[in-house]
Every structure is written in C-alpha cells, then in structure tokens.
Amino acid sequence: MNFAQIPGQHDIIGKLIRSVKEERVSHAQLFSGPGGCGSLALALAYAKYISCENRTGQDSCGICKSCLKYDKMIHPDLHFVFPVIRDKKISEPVSDSYIEQWREFVRQSPYFTLNTWLDSIEVGNAQGLIFASEASEIIKKLSLKAFESDFKIMIIWLPEKMHLATANKLLKMIEEPPEKTIFLLVSDEPDKIIPTIYSRCQLIKIPAFSNTDIRDYLISRFNIPETKADDIAKVTRGNIIRAVELCENEDSSLLNLTRFRTLMRYAWKRDIISAIGWSEEIAAAGRETQKNFISFSLRLLRENLMLSLDQLKNDLVFLSGDEASFSEKFHPYINQNNIYPLTDEFNLAYSHIEANGNAKIIFLDLALKVTRLIR
C-alpha cells in the first residue's frame, strides 16, 4: 500500500511524510476517525514509507527490497495484531494463527470492517477478540532487534478488542518501548481503548473521505457509471468501506433491509407469533451478522427521522435506491416521540449481543419493544 493508492487524505499524508523527513516519528501512534476513513490503509502506507530504502518526498519507491516485501506483507520487521477467534482447533489463538488469511485478505483491499474479516475466516457465532495469549507473542516479537529495517513496526488493528491482560502488557511496552520500535494502533472506537494506553499515544485524527474522492475511487475500482458512483458517495457520507460494500455486497444490504422491513411490519400489525419466528431466524445468524443488522437498523432509523423532519431538501438524508423506496412510505412512523426509545432499544440489543447474551431472547425482546413503540 502506497500513499498514492489512497484516494484523498492529502493533509494527513503530508503530515505523516513530514514526520519521517524531520525524524519526529512517535513510537506510539493512534490512527482513528469516522467509520471508513481509511485508517488502516494510512497505517500500512506509513509503515511502508518509514521502512522504504529509497523513499521520495511524496511516497515509498515501490521497488526496493523493503517495499516489495511490504507489498506481500512478509517483511520480517512488520508485525500485526488483530482480532481472532477461539475454536476447537486453536484453544489459545494469536494473530499468527491466522496470519496467512490476514495477509491475503488485506492485500485484496485495506477497506473492511471487523464483520467482513471474521466472515472471511468463517467464525459462525464466535466474536473476534485479541486474547490474553497475544501478550507473550507481542513481547517475543518486539524483544528482538530489527532484521532488515531501522525500525520494527507493529500494527495493532482494533486495540479496543484487546483482552485486559494483553492491554496491560502493551502498556508496559509503550511506557518503556524496545529500541527502534513503533506501534501503530488503528481504532474504530478509541473511547473503548483503556485510558492508560490512549493517553500514551499520539493521536492521528483522520477525517472522512470527500464525496469526490469516493466517487473517483469507485469508478476506478469497479468501473461503474459516474451517476451511480455519485449516488453511492452521497449515501455513504465519506465512508469508503460502506461505499465498497454497496458495490460488492448488494445482497447483504438488501437482506438487512428485508429483515428491518419484516420486523417493522410485524410490529405494526402486532403479530407476535410472526415476531417470534423473526427473532429465531436472526438468532440463527452469526453474532457479527446480528451486530451488522442492528447497526444498519440504527442508521435507517436516523434517515427516516430526517425524512419525517422534512430534511430531504437540506441534503441531510442519505439513502440508497431500495432504502429510499421503503422509507418513502415508512418514515411517517418515526418521529421525535419514539426515535429516542427506539434507538435506545437497538443500542441495548447491540450491547447484549456483544456480551454474548442469548440471541433468541435479545431479539424477541427487541421485537416486543418495537411493537410497543412503533404505533
């Protein structure tokens, strides 16, 4: 990943390049911004630039030994930590247990969510975490001297998913870093990182992509018409991950819309028997899929409230074609009286799913609460 491959983000890229030129590279940096801002892509390009043997004033050279190994993600001084799962075959999982799948997955595109990563390794109902067993691996990797580059670089994707024991080990290493070691933390929810780690990292705040950047990227990558790329860019509001998902996984978005529409229809009709069937059906899906549905529902509730408040004329409504068609008739049922309790219930369901609660009970309870609130 080179800086040139990242659409936009020129100000952030400029700051990162200057930090290398001026030899002001902090040993612990936290890349974070709104969803789909390209934080992982920037961290990868930054690490490659730091290690490049013939870097230019604008980017890595792309042809030196270091760059070629970075492109394959096999450089001996580049290390990764990311959420994995515990299964019957691997009782004490660490990132290296899935490193080959990770390399292949990230090489395809650096723009993805935890849900899509876990789907690629077929987790079922398991949730991705950075387990306590990762702590000893971090210490072992970083206690060695750099093999080929001046720096050892560890990219930690989603440190908020880190077990407390691992977080405490990482804190000690950040406080007393091994020589020539750089930590690049990439977070979607920095508020969930333990405060002692957060406070010891240099925060790199990354803005959302512009609509123009996303439009041009989609046209280049998917060869879609400019009008369709424009519509997607507007709907996704600077979230390049969602823009890619809308191009690649229209079926997934349609499935979430179908589930949401079905729930609302049963709730309006007060059809409790059908609502029970709905809750059992979604309970059979994986937990990451369930969380993805709840996130989708929260976004759709927000957009329908904006429609109810007549904000379409102010360009504050962001809906795709099928979502817009559904919301045209549905939005009158979402208003200022029920939006807060509805979002509270969906957020509560998300928290309970994340805490490994019983999915059947959680979604049945959600369906019953929606039934009470939708009228």
Q: Which domain holds residue 232?
A: 210-248
User: Is 263 found in the same domain as 331?
Assistant: yes
> What span, in angstroms and rounded, lies between the C-alpha atoms of 157 and 53?
25
Give residue 124's pLDDT.
Answer: 62
Domains: count for the chain: 3
- Residue 54 pLDDT exceeds 70: yes
Give residue 314's pLDDT.
Answer: 66
User: Is 244 found in the same domain as 255?
Assistant: no
Q: Taking all residues of the chain, what is their mean pLDDT, rounded to a whole number?
A: 91
What pTM value is reported for the model?
Answer: 0.77
Bridge partners, 30 (sequence order): 185, 203
Highest averaged pLDDT of the listed ranges 137-141, 164-168, 201-205: 201-205
Mind listing the pLDDT tens digit for each residue in 290-339?
988 998 899 899 999 999 998 876 677 778 778 888 999 999 999 999 99
User: Is 266 found in the same domain as 125?
Assistant: no
What is the arithmetic mean of pLDDT over 36-51?
A: 96
Give residue 357's pLDDT.
Answer: 92
- Residue 132 pLDDT exceeds 70: yes
> What span, in angstroms and rounded, lies between the C-alpha atoms of 303 and 236?
12
User: Is 190 found in the same domain as 171?
Assistant: yes
User: Is 144 found in the same domain as 30?
Assistant: yes
User: Is 222 found in the same domain as 304?
Assistant: no
Other Cβ atoms less than 10 A from the Cβ of 366: the count is 26
User: Is 8 found in the same domain as 90?
Assistant: yes
User: Is 76 found in the same domain as 111?
Assistant: yes
- Residue 87 pLDDT exceeds 80: no
User: Is 255 found in the same domain as 239?
Assistant: no
End-to-end CA distance of the chain: 51
**Percent of the chain, pLDDT > 70?**
98
User: Is 317 found in the same domain as 186?
Assistant: no
User: Is 98 found in the same domain as 198?
Assistant: yes
Q: Which of 94-98, 182-186, 246-250 has the lowest mean pLDDT?
A: 246-250
Which H or E element spans position 29? strand 28-32
> What span, in angstroms and rounded, lies between the C-alpha atoms of 375 and 18?
57
CATH of the domain at 15: 3.40.50.300
Nearest-CA neighbor of 209 among 1, 47, 10?
A: 10
Task: Using pLDDT thresholds of 50, 70 and 90, give the confidence band for residue 215.
Answer: very high
User: Is 184 found in the same domain as 221?
Assistant: no
- Residue 279 pLDDT exceeds 70: yes
Give residue 119's pLDDT.
Answer: 83
Task: Using pLDDT thresholds of 50, 70 and 90, give the confidence band for residue 288.
Answer: confident
What is the arithmetic mean of pLDDT over 150-172?
A: 92
**72 Cβ contact partners less than 8 Å away, ≥ 6 residues apart:** 103, 107
| Cα dihedral across residues 354, 32, 195, 118: positive or negative | positive
